[in-house]
Structure 1
Amino acid sequence: MENKTPLPDLSQLSPEEVKTVSLFKENTPCVVNITNIATARGYYSMDIQKIPAGKFGGHGFVWDGRGHIATNFHVIRGASEVRVSLIDQSTWPAKIIGGDPSKDVAVLQVEAPPEVLANLKPITLGASSGLLVGQQVFAIGNPFGLDHTLTSGIISGLNRELNTGYGGNSLRNVIQCDAAINPGNSGGPLLDSRGRLIGINTAIADPTGKGASSGIGFAIPIDTVKGLVEQILKYGRVVRPVLGITIAPPQALRQMGIQGVLVLDVPPGTPAAKAGMEGITRDNYGRMTIGDVIVGMNGKPVRTEADLFDILDGCKVGDKVTVDVLRHGDQRKTLTVKLGERIPEIAE
């Protein structure tokens, strides 16, 4: 599919304007509108009704040539049905392949005839590892229901942390930009000046509480998104590596003046237990004895839980990692742990 709107006479435009116009024309076919359909009972009857969830919907973009769509998890959260509208205004049902609420990423499969899927245009992937503050960026979305709108700005900051609201989890290494992002932009692409995907627009700083752009928008970096999407396509979910330990509240270490992550418990049979890691124990008099405090992993310092999770996010299940621990408060040891898989909790 392509944007068939003919380009006007570009001779009167500056080279920079021509570049921006072309970027929008080339990338709009990659962007889709997503409608989250929820079920609700009628106010005056017991009939089940299907209604759009969210006033302005959301966006996603074509990931590959098989009809997979990447978007934010919060765009499709609670959906009983999802519909995807393409650049030619055709609308198709979509199946949720999987998602990760803690990272706010989800993958859909457009359920359309093969000839439609064959004409979908996948977005061009870029990289987020080499981004610089001041770099020009572009956002495509449908703010306030306005179809396929382009906004531009610069990267205002890098390595931001954003609370997702799911069990206290945070998104780390988030991109901050000043391109106007409003309700309806969620799940849409953030592009660099060459039209390459560098992030998913996911949130705005809204001190007014009215859902309006404040000039501070956030996007999940593509280097994070890519690994999550690949896992969802392969396993139907995100496979996250773990040490297999229970972490003690950080207040305990603060009182001792030690930086690191205090191991509260090491259940038998876990990767950490097999490597010989120790948790807190009690002696015959009921007094607690500190076991291991994680102070480093793979040669990187671990001062907080966030440091530990950042390093684990860059690892895979089955990787062998070196863990530096401070045992009993004064013994330094290095353990080798083969990471296991976090077993997802099953709701009863």
Structure 2
Amino acid sequence: MSTHPHRRPTGAGRTAARATALVATTVVPLMLLTGCFALPGTDAGPAATSGPAAVGGDDSGAVGFDGVQSATLQIEAVGTFVDPSYGGYEAAGFGSGFLVSPDGIALTNNHVVTGAGTLKVWLGGDTSTTLNARVLGSSECLDLAAIQLQGDDFPYFAWADGDIVTAGDAYSAGFPLGDPVFTMTRGIVSKASTPADTPWASLDSVIEHDARIRSGNSGGPLVDPSGRLLGVNYAGSNLYDQNYAIHRDEVLSVIDELVAGENVLSLGINAQGLSDDEGNGLGIWVSSLASGGIADAAGLEPGDLITRMQGVSVGLDGTLADYCDVLRTHGQDASIDVEVYRPADGQYYRGQFNGDPLSAVSVLGSAGGASQATGEFTTITDDSGSVQVEVPAAWTQVDGSPFDDQRGNTYQSIVASPDLAAYTAGWSVPGVNVLASQSAVANTSPADLVAEMAAALPQHGCVSAGTDDYDDGYHVGIYEYWTDCGPEKAEFLVVGATSTANDYIVLVAVQAVSEADLDAIDRVLGSFIAEY
């Protein structure tokens, strides 16, 4: 009697690494956003809005220090956002902004307004009069947005002249914590200009100061003792009592474009670098999208995780630095290859910004089967916690014990099925094998893994559709798809691959008996993780 292929092969291994536990991770920012949308169970959150028209050059009518409040805005944004920990939610959040011309042009932060469905604005703390606003232009890399208020003859700020110097006095103005009462804090400039990469921006010049800001201050003005603008507050650290404003010169270099309705270093994303609990960067999380923007047109959705752009892994340091460097290199209007993980359906997608829209990466789909997983899934791990994969919730029997092959390699392993004994012995039930090994990289190839796992398949009537290249952006190797296995005519997919860094080798083998099982194969391939 021939050996059933579900038994662990003598020279094989199995598994791989991917980011499927992403929705269970938490964002670990370098600093806290100073204005964000309220998450479920919290009191305050981001704000929304954007879009002015054109900034005049005459500042003779600009407010002085005594008029700072009159030209400072509180912004309420309402929309649906997706948080990596809380999931999707509809909420109102508050931020700040400020007027820069008498015809209603104002500035705020991109993270305050992008993706909001509606924006409401109150001027100077006057809650009796609600103003509407629209976004003109924005930039997620610079965390800036220009908005246009309805009306005219508004009080407005002028920009500070001359150098911004260390130890100079600075004042933060705005509406922290969603409170409609205007607030100002006083401090000094501790760093006049320093580059800063954060989870939500990548800036060449920011001002570090100690004029305290909190959630809700995002997008508010940082001014000098004359009431002239030094920069735009966008981040703060309560732990270290450090506060940050986008430098005046950084703002002035792009304000005309934003006011003219042009986006700058932007794909229309309310984005943040996502990190796990250990601080490992996972990619760029999309919390919301500008309707009709470049990312929206490409097929991105709130809750997606961008993992690679133009062949470059992004967000590995937990910031937007690499994401923004790709835009700086190629320009936001170029066709840019993108790879995306979508936790909502456990699928990986590939496509282009300004090119081919996103489509699911589907090994089984290319082999002639279904490609969209449905139903309830659960995440399982091996005994060591190194290997992880999502499987249908009905596959309740799991063996996570390691094993050694005949070459002396140790494999971390998961085998899962509704009935492990039946899966191991025949073709009547579905199941999965996922194996991973670091030591086997030196003496085993992906082709070896696939060949050894598939060696006995012809004896069971299995018919091969041939081998093909496998590349999911994280692993490179080959796969082979088999049909008509056993009396049940089961289908069987085998993937052998190494990580792109070539530091481990994996094998994934999945058996399908029904249409529902076929749907599950791509979910399995889109979720397996090996962590070493």
Q: CA deviation at 1:340?
A: 9.3
Q: CA deviation at 1:195?
A: 0.9
Give the counterpart of 1:80 among 117, 122, 126.
Answer: 117
Is the CA contact (8 Å cut-off) linking 1:39 and 1:50 kept in structure 2?
Answer: yes
Give the counterpart of 1:200 among 232, 235, 243.
Answer: 232
* Partners of 1:126 and 1:69 in 2: CA distance: 16
Where do 1:290-329 residues align within 5 Å?
none
Q: CA deviation at 1:234?
A: 2.5
Equivalent residue number for residue 19 of structure 2:
none
* Partners of 2:96 and 2:265 in 1: CA distance: 25
Where do 1:37-52 residues align within 5 Å?
37-39=78-80, 51-52=91-92
Equivalent residue number for residue 107 of structure 1:
146
Letter in 2 for 1:118: D
From the superposition, tell whether residues 81 and 177 of structure 1 become closer, same or farther in structure 2 (CA, over 3 Å): same
Give the TM-score normalised by the residue count of structure 2.
0.36
Q: CA deviation at 1:131?
A: 1.4
* Partners of 1:206 and 1:155 in 2: CA distance: 17
Where do 1:1-348 residues align within 5 Å?
25-39=66-80, 51-52=91-92, 54=93, 57-87=94-124, 88-89=126-127, 90-110=129-149, 112=150, 117-127=151-161, 130-146=163-179, 147-165=181-199, 170-207=202-239, 214-238=240-264, 342-343=332-333, 345-346=353-354, 348=357
Give the secondary-structure state (helix, strand or coil) at the position aligned to 2:68.
Answer: helix
Letter in 2 for 1:27: V
Q: CA deviation at 1:163?
A: 2.0
Give the secondary-structure state (helix, strand or coil) at the position aligned to 1:118.
Answer: coil
CA deviation profile, 1:245-303 (whole Å, cap 9, x unmatched): xxxxxxxxxxxxxxxxxxxxxxxxxxxxxxxxxxxxxxxxxxxxxxxxxxxxxxxxxxx
Q: CA deviation at 1:61?
A: 0.6
Could you tell me the percent identity over the aligned residues? 28
* Partners of 1:229 and 1:136 in 2: CA distance: 25
Q: Structure 1 residue runs of 4+, over 3 Å off?
A: 22-25, 339-342, 344-348
* Partners of 1:92 and 1:70 in 2: CA distance: 15
Is the CA contact (8 Å cut-off) linking 1:32 and 1:85 kept in structure 2?
Answer: yes
Is the CA contact (8 Å cut-off) linking 2:73 and 2:98 kept in structure 1?
Answer: yes
Is the CA contact (8 Å cut-off) linking 1:104 and 1:164 kept in structure 2?
Answer: no
* Partners of 1:74 and 1:193 in 2: CA distance: 28
CA deviation profile, 1:174-215 (whole Å, cap 9, x unmatched): 1000111111111000001111001001101244xxxxxx42
From the superposition, tell whether residues 239 and 204 of structure 1 become closer, same or farther in structure 2 (CA, over 3 Å): closer
Q: CA deviation at 1:226?
A: 1.6
Give the TM-score normalised by the residue count of structure 1.
0.54
CA deviation profile, 1:34-67 (whole Å, cap 9, x unmatched): 1111148xxxxxxxx9630x3xx11111121221
Q: CA deviation at 1:68?
A: 1.3
Letter in 2 for 1:51: A
Give the secondary-structure state (helix, strand or coil) at the position aligned to 1:225.
Answer: helix
* Partners of 1:100 and 1:107 in 2: CA distance: 9
Equivalent residue number for residue 361 of structure 2:
none
Letter in 1 for 2:333: I
Letter in 2 for 1:72: N
CA deviation profile, 1:209-237 (whole Å, cap 9, x unmatched): xxxxx421000011111222211122522
Number of residue-to-residue matches in the alignment: 211
From the superposition, tell whether residues 180 and 239 of structure 1 become closer, same or farther in structure 2 (CA, over 3 Å): closer
* Partners of 1:23 and 1:64 in 2: CA distance: 14
Question: Whose Rg is larger?
Answer: 2
* Partners of 1:161 and 1:226 in 2: CA distance: 16
* Partners of 2:354 and 2:131 in 1: CA distance: 30
Is the CA contact (8 Å cut-off) linking 2:141 and 2:265 kept in structure 1?
Answer: no
Give the secondary-structure state (helix, strand or coil) at the position aligned to 1:181.
Answer: coil
Q: CA deviation at 1:157?
A: 1.1
* Partners of 2:331 and 2:203 in 1: CA distance: 20
Is the CA contact (8 Å cut-off) linking 2:64 and 2:228 kept in structure 1?
Answer: no
* Partners of 2:140 and 2:331 in 1: CA distance: 18
From the superposition, tell whether residues 342 and 142 of structure 1 become closer, same or farther in structure 2 (CA, over 3 Å): closer
